[in-house]
Amino acid sequence: MELFKNFKDFKMDVLKEVGNIGAGNAATALSQLLNKPIDMAVPKVQLLSFEEITEKVGGAEEFVYAVFLRVEGEAPGNLFFILTPEAAMSLLGRVAGIELSGNSELSEMELSALSEIGNILAGSYLSSLADFTSLSMYPTVPALAMDMAGAILSYGLLQFGQMGDDALLIDTTFMEGKNEIEGQFFLIPDPESFPKIFQSLGVPFEND
Amino acid sequence: MIEEQSIIKVGMADLNVGSEHSMIRTTGLGSCVGLTLFDPGKKLAGMAHVMLPSSEIARDGQLNIAKFADTAVPELLTRLLALGAVRSRIVAKMAGGSQMFAFAGGNDTMRIGPRNVESCKLALESLNIPLIAEDTGGNYGRTIEIACASGILFIRSVQKGNKEL
């Protein structure tokens, strides 16, 4: 993973902008769905160990809802939209008008609605990214999972696993109002996608 | 009397061994496999959190031997023997290897869980270590913990409750 350790700051900034544009569009989409302003934190681009990545959502055992899309095309990668159970419930309540009973089991209808919300947001993330880089990126059909964060996220790290023990993660957090975290977008491009992303944005890619 | 028990954590693509008064734990197994070896005589146990089936696909840089089934299992055995375990008594248990996301199509990456399980079994077979229990497959995450004193493997999951092997 020497490749990424040598990234200069400005390359990290380029990737931050990539995350910013994608998540910015997704935030707009979410804001339209909710008819409410949504704030977004400045994206973080970090080279993290697998352990640290799961720490970002509260630890490997933390129960989360996640919509996962495999990105295919010229710059393949993995995209996760991660929600705490509370955020998922409130999202469902407000977007789909589904009144949730107290028990944590979601019905098929609710799961499907949640998956669709994730799909809309992830789709807008990805399409703005594809426009920005003029690279072709196609999302696979989204899959929804509710489980331990470690079990879910490890899935997105397999491509990096072949190379090293770290992955480069573009992480954007959504907030509504003050500090209430609504959701997190994790984009984990495959290692071989980085040269393509840089190249398409006119950034020379050498190991400098 | 409550015995002082220390908990040894095993991270993703990591392995470790422990003796009588410890528990070894790994959290959030999805498609990864948690493989344990246990010597009931010496009360020694070891655990590996295997992420990928074969080191042949490794690219770039040094190899993390704990990550791949074909390298992690022999290494775990070596570490256990170094602590004084008796080879002929060692038995294996494992859990994990689920398929977290169901997609149409037979993409190999998507089947990584079952492939991890197969590779672990092959590795155990080639070392002549009997696999006495397993809780693998499904589509849910697991956290596992082995008691080095008894060799009991505790499995926790959000969706399917708890289990003991």
In degrees rounded to 5, what are phi and psi of residue A134?
45, 40
CATH tag for A2-199 (out of 1.20.1560.10, 3.40.1550.10, 2.40.70.10, 1.10.3720.10): 3.40.1550.10
Residue B159 covered by a domain? yes
Q: Is the pLDDT of residue A40 over 90?
A: no
pLDDT at B161: 82
A60 contacts B143? CB cut-off 8 A: yes
Chain B residue numbers touching A54 (CB-CB < 8 A): 12, 28
Task: Report the candidate in B145, B148, B31, B26 with the shortest Cα–Cα distance to residue B85.
Answer: B148
Give the count of alpha carbons within 13 A of A177, CB side only.
Answer: 2
pLDDT at A183: 78
Residues in B whose CB is inside 8 Å of some CB of A read 11-13, 27-32, 51-52, 57-61, 64, 67, 98, 100-104, 109, 112, 139-143, 157-159
Task: Report the candidate in B24, B14, B86 with the shortest Cα–Cα distance to residue B50.
Answer: B14
Model confidence pLDDT, tens digit, residues A80-95: 888 888 888 877 777 7
Chain A residue numbers touching B103 (CB-CB < 8 A): 70, 140-141, 143
In degrees rounded to 5, what are phi and psi of residue B123?
-65, -40
Q: What is the extent of the structural domain holding B70?
A: 6-164
Q: Is the pLDDT of residue A162 over 80?
A: no
Residue B1 covered by a domain? no
Q: Is the pLDDT of residue A71 over 90?
A: no
Q: How far is CA A14 from CA A68, B62, B123, in A?
A: 24, 28, 44
Structure tokens at B152: 């009991």
pLDDT at A113: 82
Burial class (CB in 10 A: 0-12, 13-18, 19+), A8: exposed
Chain B nearest C-alpha distance from A104 (Å): 11
CA–CA distance, A14 with A196 (Å, rounded to integer): 13
Residue B124 covered by a domain? yes
CA A153 from centre of chain: 11
- Identity of the residue in A59, A145, A159 whose CB atom sits nearest the CB atom of B100: A145
CATH of the domain at B41: 3.30.1330.200
How do the domains of chain A map onto residue ranges?
2-199
Model confidence pLDDT, tens digit, residues B91-102: 999 999 988 876
Selected residue of B7, B26, B32, B139 to mutate for chain A interface (largest A Cβ count, 10 A): B32
Task: Report the candidate in A16, A48, A76, A29 with the shortest Cα–Cα distance to residue A201.
Answer: A16
Q: For chain B, what is the domain count? A: 1
CB atoms within 10 A of CB B104: 8
Beta sheet of B22-29, edge-to-edge order: B6-9, B22-29, B142-147, B153-157, B161-164
Instruction: Find the Cα–Cα–Cα–Cα dihedral B101, B31, B159, A174, rounded to 10°.
Output: -60
Neighbouring-strand partners of residue A110: none
Highest mean pLDDT among A37-51, A144-158, A164-178, B81-95: B81-95
Q: What is the mean pLDDT of residues B66-88?
A: 90
- Identity of the residue in B28, B139, B157 whose CB atom sits nearest the CB atom of A150: B28
Q: Name the more confident of B118 and A166.
A: B118
Residue B49 covered by a domain? yes
CA–CA distance, A121 with A29 (Å, rounded to integer): 6
Percentage above 90 pLDDT, chain B:
45
Cβ partners under 8 Å of residue A53, min gap 6:
A153, A157, A167, A169, A186
Model confidence pLDDT, tens digit, residues B123-161: 999 999 999 999 998 888 899 999 999 999 999 988 788
A51 contacts B30? CB cut-off 8 A: no
Chain A nearest C-alpha distance from B6 (Å): 19
CA–CA distance, A75 with A136 (Å, rounded to integer): 7
Cβ partners under 8 Å of residue A89, min gap 6:
A100
